């Protein structure tokens, strides 16, 4: 094993002997630090089941201001201390189990790396203590490496990101920043809609694609078809659901503890309409966040291109174009 990047790049690390300790592979390690790379400098990093200490040492190499290594195994602690030789940056190594480590940890941590034995069920207890002691800094992550097991998080926490590497799954568990809705006809859903969704998820941890049903409006595709398209579009989003609203959007949001709805606009005409809708929602206690969307993409453009049999793949999310074309041809 070696340090991948930073001040100690290339430093050789001793590997554990036997199968009791499973070091994080280089591919997984590199992916994790690619995700958090802009936030490591100056961070506080807790390597909770440190094993060889490779993850915490990687954090030190990339600029972490303080790193705590913990493990219940004396052999792992000895191995970590050997690997830390020649590293002067501020750190501490403790021979404690995860409970004692968390109960005695001071301050807030930007990153808590959790890589317990794959058959363990520690993560729910870890998250509960982290929540109760308020150990996780705002914007920080519990980075949980596991074998794709199911678990339940305490209220106020969510899985912000998930990455899979064969049998290995890495979850980025964060404080929940709430839920928002993106209301629209989605006739059909486009890449422009997903652009607005991605920007909404910069602020919120969860979102719902909310299909509004307006009896006074004519749609090309049925509600069932539009729901199918939307679900296909967001199938790779862990934190996005699709739902239907058959009344006022503000009523749906109130009933589902949503305070803000996102809406995209493409031109001044769109903006004027959206501002009027936003004013109506505001009068009923629902805030609207208006986002300038991709001008070249709209649902009406897709409907026009379908009439002339033009290619629509570049305007629609992966997998949606085929379903849209199939549904359209069935109407002819």
> Would you say residue 203 has pLDDT above 80?
yes
The whole-number pLDDT of residue 142 equals: 98
Annotation: CATH topology of 179-329: Rossmann fold (3.40.50)
Residues 319 and 229: their CA atoms lie apart, in Å, by: 9
Give percent of the chain above pLDDT 90.
76
The whole-number pLDDT of residue 296 equals: 85
39 vs 23: which has the higher pLDDT: 39
State the residue for tokens 């400098």: 41
Question: Which of 130, 326, 102, 329 is closest to 229 using CA atoms?
Answer: 326
The mean-pLDDT minimum among 19-33, 179-193, 227-241, 300-314 falls in 19-33
The whole-number pLDDT of residue 258 equals: 95
Cα–Cα distances (Å) from 42 to 33, 64, 331, in that order, read: 14, 5, 59
Same fold, 26-175 and 179-329: yes
Q: List the chain domain ranges.
A: 26-175, 179-329
> Would you say residue 22 has pLDDT above 70?
no
Residue 116 phi, psi dihedral angles, 5° rounding: -80, 175
Residues 312 and 303: their CA atoms lie apart, in Å, by: 9
Label residue 318 by pLDDT band (50, 70, 90): confident
The whole-number pLDDT of residue 123 equals: 96
Label residue 119 by pLDDT band (50, 70, 90): confident
State the residue for tokens 């809708």: 277
Using alpha carbons only, how large is the chain's radius of gyration in Å?
24
> Would you say residue 19 has pLDDT above 80?
no
The whole-number pLDDT of residue 137 equals: 95
> Would you say residue 120 has pLDDT above 90?
no
Question: Which of 54, 64, 53 is closest to 89 using CA atoms?
Answer: 64
The whole-number pLDDT of residue 41 equals: 97
The whole-number pLDDT of residue 18 equals: 56
The pLDDT tens digits for 50-92 are 999 999 999 999 999 999 999 999 999 999 999 999 999 999 9
> Would you say residue 294 has pLDDT above 90?
no
Domain 26-175: which CATH class? alpha beta
Q: Which helix (H) or strand (E) holds 270?
A: helix 268-283
Label residue 148 by pLDDT band (50, 70, 90): confident
The pLDDT tens digits for 263-285 are 999 888 889 989 999 999 999 99
The pLDDT tens digits for 152-191 are 999 888 888 888 899 899 999 998 888 999 999 999 999 9
The whole-number pLDDT of residue 139 equals: 87
Give percent of the chain above pLDDT 70.
98
């Amino acid at each position: 094993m070696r340090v991948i990047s930073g001040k100690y790049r290339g430093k050789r690390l001793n590997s554990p002997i036997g199968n009791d300790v499973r070091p994080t592979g280089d591919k997984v390690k590199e992916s994790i630090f690619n995700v958090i790379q802009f936030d490591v400098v100056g961070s506080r990093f807790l390597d909770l089941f440190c094993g060889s200490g490779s993850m915490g040492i990687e954090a030190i190499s990339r600029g972490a201001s303080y790193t705590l290594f913990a493990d219940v195994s004396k052999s792992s602690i000895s191995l970590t201390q050997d690997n830390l030789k020649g590293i002067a940056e501020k750190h501490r190594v403790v021979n404690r189990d995860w409970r004692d480590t968390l109960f005695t940890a001071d301050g807030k941590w930007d990153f808590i790396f959790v890589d317990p034995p794959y058959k363990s069920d520690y993560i729910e207890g870890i998250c509960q203590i982290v929540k109760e002691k308020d150990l996780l800094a705002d914007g920080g992550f519990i980075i949980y490496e596991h074998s794709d097991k199911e678990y339940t998080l305490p209220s106020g926490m969510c899985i912000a990101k998930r990455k899979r590497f064969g049998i290995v799954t890495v979850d980025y568990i964060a404080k929940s920043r709430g839920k928002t809705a993106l209301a629209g006809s989605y006739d059909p859903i486009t890449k422009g809609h997903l652009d607005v969704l991605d920007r909404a998820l910069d602020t919120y941890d969860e979102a719902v694609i909310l299909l509004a049903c307006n009896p006074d409006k004519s749609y090309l595709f049925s509600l069932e078809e539009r729901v199918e398209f939307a679900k296909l579009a967001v199938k790779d989003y862990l934190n996005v659901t699709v739902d239907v609203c058959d009344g006022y959007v503000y009523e749906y949001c109130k009933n589902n503890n949503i305070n803000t709805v996102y809406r995209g606009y493409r031109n001044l005409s769109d903006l004027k309409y959206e501002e009027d809708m936003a004013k109506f929602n505001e009068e009923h206690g629902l805030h609207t966040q208006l986002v300038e969307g991709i001008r070249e993409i709209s649902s009406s453009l897709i409907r026009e291109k379908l009439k002339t049999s033009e290619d629509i793949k570049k305007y629609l999310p992966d997998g949606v174009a085929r379903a849209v074309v199939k549904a359209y041809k069935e109407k002819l």
